[in-house]
């Protein structure tokens, strides 16, 4: 196996899996660390953990368990996948996990590369930008769990991890893969352990992929994965994505993300399709019973375009709900969606289009899926995926990914 990825959340795992496939590597995504007897036949395996906001020691333990599984299958390279906005708690998981993986692999140096220019995440002189804003001035500043108040990846890494952090700047990247390798080697001789990689374009990611394709451990968002996949595969993308092409059959849209982009996507789709707005009080009163009712409503609707059940709320509405009910509301919404998903699968729905990382986790767990074959991308970072063990296709969308027409776009990908 060429690449083993350890991803710190669910939609993040699907994101990199989609880019590895787009870059020409056959890829399987597993939900959690698989059992010792599970064998996978693919160029790359992505293990989806749910460790982003866990205490660091737990994130380290989960990541090392994933590493053991991947090493036992002979992965040539290990890839630590985190968010393109470097989401980490105040105590910081990314650094401790990188340190633990470096120690286990005996690697003296690794790279830090969250850049994903196609989705507006770029790194310049070691500072992470979201669109035209520094990370610290973007919406991530006020993220409820992982607020990001510093844009300097060098400072963030040195605060979280053991050792010094250096930089390969964009001027060096422009000089090509050998110049990048030389700079990493020089930094290593100076005792640096982590190297932030500037990248503001896909061309930079291609150069960086070529430069780091032989490193034992790399860390980043999904963009560097795309660069590495293209470097090692020779690029037979169409063939790599056949296994995950979406099934035919009835679809549903389930939206539990409250991000700015999802709010726009829900508004746009609501003008075209049957919509049921979820009643949070009913979720709180009886999540399972209400979930069954939501499913019955979906199964009663015309199928094209697919009906949508949505809890998506704008920031003011969400603040009100949270002030009234606290975290219980989000949990109840997730449980209602999970219950609905189970009834929908039994009722013959074969394609689930889901918005939001936590929501995707709840739906996938309810569908009892062990892993996915990865198909074509609907939008950068959002591929169709097909369950390995049952006839179900899913599109799991990170909150801020996809165009305004995402829910329609997903249904237009040929089966
Ligand atoms: N109307 C609502 N009231 C309270 N909680 C809600 C409501 N709608 C959604 N939620 C909850 O908000 C959370 C949204 O998180 P989720 O990870 O699904 O989306 P996201 O944060 O936008 O996505 P990502 O993590 O991919 O960026 C879920 O726990 C969901 O149940
Ligand atoms: O890298 C990203 O932005 C996404 O894959 C992600 O991790 C969203 O939670």
Could you tell me the distance, in angstroms and rounded to a whole number, from the CA of residue 256 to the centre of ligand 1?
A: 5
pLDDT value of position 240: 67
**Cα separations (Å) of 219 from 64, 94, 102, 197, 225?**
15, 9, 11, 10, 9
140 C-alpha to center of ligand 1: Å?
15
**53 pLDDT above the threshold of 80:** yes
Residue nearest to atom 27 of ligand 1 (CA): 399
Q: What tokens does 130 get?
A: 């979201």
Task: Please identify, by atom number, the ligand 2 atom nearest to the C-alpha of residue 114.
Answer: 1
CATH node for 241-411: 3.40.980.20
Q: 12 CA to middle of ligand 2, Å?
A: 4
Q: Please spell the DSSP secondary structure of 75-130, one letter per residue.
A: -SEEEEE--TT----SS-SHHHHHHHHHHHHT-S-EEEE--BGGGTEEEETTEEEE
Strand ranges, E, within 229-307 = 251-255, 275-277
pLDDT for res 162? 94
Query: Nearest to residue 113, comparing CAs of 235, 227, 23, 6?
Result: 227
Pocket of ligand 1 (CB under 6 A): 11, 256-259, 262, 280, 311-313, 318, 321, 329-330, 333-334, 356-359, 398-400
Residue 10 pLDDT: 87
CB 4 within 8 A of CB 45: yes
What's domain 3-238's architecture? 3-Layer(aba) Sandwich (3.40)
Q: For residue 268, how far is its CA from the centre of ligand 2 (angstroms)?
A: 23
- CA distance linking residue 397 with residue 267, whole number of Å: 16
Residue nearest to atom 8 of ligand 1 (CA): 311
Percent with pLDDT over 90 in the chain: 86
Task: Provide the pLDDT for residue 326.
Answer: 86
Residues 290-300: tens digit of each pLDDT: 999 999 999 99
Mean predicted lDDT score pLDDT of the chain:
94
Residue 50's pLDDT is what? 86
More confident residue, 46 or 414: 46
What distance in angstroms lies between residue 11's CA and the mean position of ligand 2's atoms?
7
For the residues 340-362, what does the mean pLDDT come to?
96
Q: Where are the domains of the chain?
A: 3-238, 241-411
Residue pair 352/367 in contact (Cβ under 8 Å)? The answer is yes
Ligand 1: which of 359, 363, 366 to mutate, judged by most atoms within 8 Å of the beta carbon?
Answer: 359
SS3 286: coil
The ipTM value here is: 0.98
pTM for this prediction: 0.93
Q: How far is the CA of 340 from the centre of ligand 1 (A)?
A: 16
Which residue's structure tokens are 């205490």? 55
Using pLDDT thresholds of 50, 70 and 90, give the confidence band for residue 144.
low
What residue's CA is closest to ligand 1, atom 11?
Answer: 330
């Amino acid at each position: 196996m060429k690449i083993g990825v350890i991803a710190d959340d669910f939609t993040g795992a699907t994101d990199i899996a989609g880019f590895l496939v787009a870059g020409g590597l056959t890829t399987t995504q597993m939900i959690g660390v698989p059992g010792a007897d599970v064998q996978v036949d693919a160029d790359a395996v992505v293990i989806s953990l749910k460790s982003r906001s866990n205490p660091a020691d737990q994130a380290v333990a989960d990541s090392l368990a994933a590493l053991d599984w991947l090493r036992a299958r002979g992965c040539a390279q290990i890839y630590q996948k985190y968010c393109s906005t470097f989401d980490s708690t105040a105590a910081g998981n990314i650094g401790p996990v990188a340190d633990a993986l470096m120690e286990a692999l005996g690697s003296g140096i690794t790279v830090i590369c969250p850049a994903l220019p196609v989705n507006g995440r770029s790194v310049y002189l070691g500072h992470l930008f979201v669109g035209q804003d520094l990370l610290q001035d973007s919406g991530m500043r006020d993220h409820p769990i992982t607020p990001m108040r510093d844009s300097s990846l060098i400072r963030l890494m040195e605060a979280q991890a053991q050792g010094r952090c250096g930089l390969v700047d964009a001027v060096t990247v422009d000089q090509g893969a050998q110049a990048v390798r030389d700079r990493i080697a020089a930094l290593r001789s100076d005792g640096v352990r982590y190297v932030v990689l500037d990248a503001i374009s896909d061309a930079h990611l291609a150069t960086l992929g070529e430069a780091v394709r032989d490193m034992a451990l790399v860390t980043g968002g999904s963009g560097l994965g795309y660069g590495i996949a293209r470097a090692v595969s020779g690029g037979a993308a169409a063939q790599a994505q056949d296994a995950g092409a979406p099934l035919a059959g009835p679809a549903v849209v389930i939206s539990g993300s409250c991000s700015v982009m999802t709010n726009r996507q829900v508004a746009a789709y609501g003008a075209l399709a049957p919509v049921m707005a979820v009643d949070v009080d009913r979720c709180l009163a009886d999540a399972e019973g209400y979930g069954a009712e939501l499913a019955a409503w979906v199964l009663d609707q015309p199928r094209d375009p697919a009906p949508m059940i949505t809890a998506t709320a704008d920031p003011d509405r969400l603040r009100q709900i949270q002030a009234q009910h606290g975290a219980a509301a989000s949990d109840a919404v997730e449980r209602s969606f999970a219950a609905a998903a189970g009834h929908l699968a039994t009722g013959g729905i074969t394609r689930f289009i889901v918005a939001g990382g936590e929501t995707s986790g709840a739906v996938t767990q309810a569908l009892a899926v062990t892993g996915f074959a990865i198909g074509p991308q609907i939008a950068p970072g959002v591929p169709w995926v097909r369950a390995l063990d049952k006839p179900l296709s899913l599109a799991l969308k990170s909150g801020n990914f996809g165009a305004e027409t995402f829910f329609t776009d997903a249904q237009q990908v040929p089966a």
